[in-house]
A and B are shown apart, each in its own frame.
Chain A
Amino acid sequence: MSETRVHFYQVGSFAVGNRLLSADERTVQSDRRRTNSIDSGHRACQGCGEALGARYALDAAMRVTSGQLVAVNATGCLEVFSTPFPETSWQIPWLHSLFGNAPAVATGVAAALRVKGRDQVRVVGQAGDGGTVDIGFGTLSGMFERNDDVLFVCYDNEGYMNTGVQRSAATPPTARTATTDAVGPEPGNAFGQGKDVPRIAMAHGIPYVATATVADLHDLERKVERAMSFHGARYLHVFVPCPLGWGAASSETIHVARLAKETGIFPVYEAEYGEVTGVTKIRRQAPVTEYLRLQRRYAHLFGHPGRPDVVARLQAMADANIARYGLLATEEDE
């Protein structure tokens, strides 16, 4: 990580306290002048990670573009819960077309703005994991390879939550969904499947790719700002727990997201032009069981007799992430 060597320790929570920072280092969210790009009153579930992620990402993008932003949205939870007309939560120009075409629609908006000479207006495309890694993947890859001037944000809650919690290519192994039920000899989603879209995005050689979680606001906002400093295709993959789909307490959204990062299950890093340029280190490593036990979608792995063999495979996957990205802090990092 290039930016900051300042450590923000608060007692117990590991959260970054704005009060310990100078005004210009505080988060966009702490600023009373933040846009509230997606305003209150929407119909998201209590504790929705996606609603948080969208507001964090878009408010940061709004600040860095001085309010010159257009958003394109794929079909999904975010689209449905934000526009219960006659009300809309969007304080920014917003277009929803289809489930699988948000990247292409965003390309069109960007092309129109360029041809009109309105280069100062920037475009964000956004979708859940279904709209990104599955049905929208073709248009996403096309937008990447043409290097269209779009920041695409995937709010990854690891399944089709809007339609009732079905498996997507972002659903992790063993997780229970409505189409990978916790029954039979191999309950939950299968091992050895799924797509790592941040790495696929990197393979396109686009200017900027980053992963983030809703648990680390500073990191997420900084990555949005960094992304907006580039022109061309950029990709931000945000880990957003879904209390309903994961069977986690609404009050635990941030905790679950933080544990995904602290266990190594979800590696947090950034890359420029296909090369990893920074990783967010694990600060207090936790075993995957700490993460898994908070979610009923993994309940079949525990209890009596439980599946310690399967949990061990999940731990091995987290360990592999830790090794691949160098997620453990060394003496030098401290």
Chain B
Amino acid sequence: MLRQIEGSHAIAESVARCRPEVVCAYPISPQTHIIEAIGVMVKEGTLAPCEFINVESEFAAMSVSIGASAAGARAYTATASQGLLFMIEAVYNAAGLGLPIVMTLANRAIGAPINIWNDHSDAMAVRDSGWIQLFAETNQEAADLHVQAFRLAEELSVPVMVCMDGFILTHAVEGVDLLDQEQVDRFLPPYEPRQVLDPEDPVSIGAMVGPEAFEEVRYLAHLRQLDALDRIPEIAAEFSEMFGRDSGGLVRPYRLEDAETVIVAMGSVLGTIKDAVDERRDAGERLGVLGITSFRPFPLEAVRQALAGRERVVVVEKAFSLGMGGVLATDVAMAIGTTTLHTVVAGLGGRPITRTALLDMLERARTGRLATLSFLDLDEGVIARERARMATVRRSGPFAENVLRDLGRPREDQA
């Protein structure tokens, strides 16, 4: 049932129906209304059991979420702009540890000069952190994406950031159809952690990983992002089937059929772009729009397919890399691709880059066997074994420590 509601309150209600168990609150515009509304629900007892913690900084907000998630609780917080930057060390840490925290990012510019209004600079600042980043076009989609985000995060044990434009969405009052408790419960099972701090089964989480395994641990995290490329559309399809509306997914095509020019963008601006495109379409121009819902993982294949054969691609983005240019545009360029550009990830975490490995890589390049993206000297065996463990055991434990333990075993035991 459609209800006139402020975006922030829609998010708060949607999040509450996901039954978060620990919610950290620290005020920063324009996300503050979200955590305020959740605070009311906890205080009046309509959201229970839930620990609502007024922390002293965003750094603490993410850190408390890390502790809560590692101890088996469903954790949620929200932030924006400077707040995201203040917690950035913990943002990377949560992803590195593989903790399925969900966070709303009410997108806002980063200072100096200080500016409280909307753009996407904050989200771009953490695009490489290992969080899944989903961009909402409308408040309806933002509300729905949070329900999908918890499901996705917990399935994959990866944190998810739902990005929604500050003020434009968070403070807009419009009709939103919120799922009721029974519907959310049907879609979102209780949180079953992959790793948990429990005296009955003590584990050490957060050990140092040296050059011998760092690349493999990072690659495993990358693989989980690739898993998300499969799961995001599947979860969106399931959502659509269950509740009868399309929210989420990887990309959102609009009037692409015969489009010669395609505009690519993320977030609420897609509405305005579609209006403009409609107007020009009426004048006979063949225009189309490609909305990117999943910015991380970036759906290279879906974007490539959507843009194949177009005469012109225009990326409209609310952020840019100083001294370089477009951020989203760079990713789109990678999707469109060239036959001559290859990325070789090498030397992560102090892994030596040897001449032998480089010579081997050059040989593969010469003979056309070098993939678009590859990882130098990657130990495929240890990755396969950890992936197999994760596939067979839900509580597979901390993956970095698993890899180290695997590598530390006597050789004959590794086969």
Contacts and interface: CB of A to CB of B under 8 A. Distances in A.
A138 B60 contact: yes
B59 A115 contact: no
B203 interface: yes
B334 interface: no
Interface stretch (B2-10, B171-179, B322-330, B400-408): B400-408
B71 A142 contact: no
Interface string B51-94: 10111110110011111111111010000000000000110010
Interface in B182-210: 197-199, 201-209
Interface in A140-158: 141-142, 145-146
B199 A106 contact: no
Given A90-B202, A107-B53, A115-B51, 15 more contacts: A85-B404, A85-B408, A92-B199, A93-B204, A97-B63, A107-B64, A108-B69, A109-B67, A111-B51, A111-B64, A115-B50, A115-B73, A139-B63, A141-B56, A146-B54
Contacts of A79: 206, 208
Contact of B204 (A90, A97, A112, A138): A90
B210 to A, nearest CB: 9
Interface string A76-108: 000110011111101111111110110011111
A103 B201 CA distance: 23
B86 to A, nearest CB: 11
A205 interface: no
A121 B59 contact: no
A67 interface: yes
Interface string B373-415: 0000000000000000000000000000100110111000000
Given A104-B55, A111-B22, A141-B56, A70 B208 contact: no
A94 B56 contact: no
B331 interface: no
Contact of B90 (A70, A85, A93, A98): A98
Contact of A112 (B22, B60, B93): B22
A116 B199 CA distance: 14
A95 B56 contact: no
B66 A97 contact: yes
Nearest to A90: B204
Interface residues of B, number: 46
Contact of B56 (A106, A115, A117, A142): A142
Contacts of B337: none
Interface residues of A, number: 46
Nearest to B408: A86
A69 B202 CA distance: 10
A110 B22 CA distance: 10
Contacts, number: 165
Contact of A97 (B90, B202, B208): B90
A142 B201 CA distance: 30
Nearest to B201: A93
Interface string B253-295: 0000000000000000000000000000000000000000000
A69 to B, nearest CB: 6
A111 B56 contact: no
A116 B408 CA distance: 35
A106 B93 contact: no
Nearest to B209: A85
Nearest to A121: B199
B97 interface: yes
B408 A97 contact: no
A70 B64 CA distance: 15
A62 B51 CA distance: 26
B206 A112 contact: no
A72 interface: yes
Contacts of B56: 138-139, 141-142, 145
A299 interface: no
A184 B72 CA distance: 54
A104 to B, nearest CB: 4
A88 B207 contact: yes
Contacts of B407: 86
Nearest to B207: A83
B49 interface: yes
Interface in B27-49: 49
Contacts of B73: 108, 111-112, 115-116
